[in-house]
Amino acid sequence: MRFAPGARRLAIPAFAAAALLAPVAFPLSLLALAIGGFVGWFFRDPERRPSGPGVVSPADGRISVVRVEGDQFRVGVFMNVTDVHVNRAPFDGTVESVTHRPGKHLPAFSKESERNERVDVTIATEAGPAEVSLIAGAFARRIHPYVQAGNDLARAQRIGHIDFGSRADVLLPPAYDREDLLVAEGDRVRAGESIVAATDR
């Protein structure tokens, strides 16, 4: 089983505490063991492959936003605490910039989450400019991008992860229109696997 970076940093202290507490405070030892197990499970990073041609979801979770912004469509995915939190590139392209924007830590499923802390990854694609945004939630305090400006991306490649409850958006290139969208608000998707927009371009 593969794990996202940070799993050892958070899980090992919990497992160590469980071992130290076992002889003197067994209930607390069990609690520490459970915490370590939860952290490892949360940071799981399963292999994923696209289920077909088109734009893949950047995250596991439920579609929370589908809207027009100028001449582009934004598709947002809310990640519950039970979802895999490793994020993936929706399409092939080249990273133009990775920008951290400080902000609030409101629930990621709310409309107000637009003001939350985030990392915006702008991407040049054959269909035009695009962007993936990793948005912190109420409990998420750290966003971990894996890419930097100049990196070439392959569709479904790992591009980062967010700790504990959050949201990931993809701003599709202008070449995509409403007829290309294959998802609606409320749909369940899987990062790097589910197709959110299809086109023959």
Catalytically active residues, by annotation: 166
| DSSP 8-class letter at 44 | B
| DSSP 8-class letter at 104 | B
End-to-end CA distance of the chain: 36
* Cα–Cα nearest to 173, from 2, 53, 78, 55: 55
Tell me phi and psi for residue 21, to 5 degrees: -85, -20
H-run or E-run covering 40: helix 26-42
One DSSP character per residue, 65-110 reads: EEEEETTEEEEEEEE-TTS--EEE-SS-EEEEEEEEE--B---TTS
Tokens 């959050």 -> residue: 166
**Two tokens at 63?**
């579609």
Q: How far is CA 45 from each of CA 8, 40, 77, 158, rounded to the nearest angstrom? A: 13, 10, 17, 9
The length of the chain in residues reads: 201
